[in-house]
Amino acid sequence: MLKVEDVHVYYGAIHAIKGISLEVPQGQIVTLIGANGAGKTSTLNTICGFIKPKTGKIFFEGKDITNLATQDIVKQGLTQVPEGRRIFANMPIYENLELGAYLNRNKKEVAQRMEKVYAKFPRLLERKNQLAGSLSGGEQQMLAMGRALMSNPRLLLLDEPSMGLSPILVKEIFSIIKELNEQGTTILLVEQNAKMALSIAHKGYVVETGRIVLAGEAKELLESPEVKKAYLGG
């Protein structure tokens, strides 16, 4: 579904992404794991069109999207839930969700999608008129995911969904991610919690200093001595 071919990204003179290539098959969860600053978020932001690569190509469902504007990439069916959630704190929950469907002018369709999001995240329905900034960290993550789902994506990019959450909420968020995948959404997951990410993923890539240093089936990576030592606490 998604193919990234030998992508290089620079921030000025800094060579942030050094020839990353990866594939996300339809219907799977693929995870990128690695330390802070490894280049995981930069990779997602390049796929989404926020950053343009100096060289390399990105294909979504066979179509070259390397130089498309972000809104045109969203129209193709690819949406990102950003690191840090980036909700609109001073707006009610329902307005945050409506913004996720800003490309859709069909009010009936938008209402149907909103119902689906509320069915998946009942807490958002209970609090729909509350300001988004009054939600807990876990609820804000649910809102960010719900907002992304409003664009009806076929591929969802998730950037550090467990960041700053309690262990109980982390389990809940990962359970939701797995459920979304089982219902047909393909997922590319960037996550520092390597153990949780690999436990729900089909495939994994280990990113270090802008390069992929290991790749394989998620179960294999969970058992890999290198991965255990570097990311799983031995």
Integer Cα distance of 230 and 35 in angstroms = 9
Four-residue CA torsion sign, 199, 200, 205, 209: negative
* Gyration radius from the chain CA atoms: 17
More confident residue, 226 or 3: 3
**Residue among 137, 151, 119 nearest 128 (CA):** 119
pLDDT at 232: 76
* pLDDT higher than threshold 80 for residue 234: no
For residue range 97-131, what is the model confidence (pLDDT) as tens digits? 998 887 777 889 888 989 999 998 999 999 999 99
Let me know: does 125 contact 97? Beta carbons within 8 Å: no
Written as six digits, the tokens of 140 are: 């804000």
Integer Cα distance of 87 and 74 in angstroms = 18
Percent of the chain at pLDDT above 90? 73
Q: How far is CA 118 from CA 40, 149, 181, 183, in A?
A: 30, 11, 18, 16
pLDDT at 229: 86
Averaged pLDDT, 172-194: 93
Per domain, the residue ranges of the chain are 2-86+155-231
Query: What is the pLDDT of the chain when averaged over all its residues?
Result: 92
pLDDT at 233: 66
Q: Given this structure, which CATH class describes domain 2-86+155-231?
A: alpha beta
Q: What are phi and psi of 49, to 5 degrees?
A: 90, 5
* pLDDT higher than threshold 60 for residue 190: yes
For residue range 135-159, what is the model confidence (pLDDT) as tens digits? 988 899 999 999 999 988 999 999 9
* pLDDT higher than threshold 80 for residue 204: yes
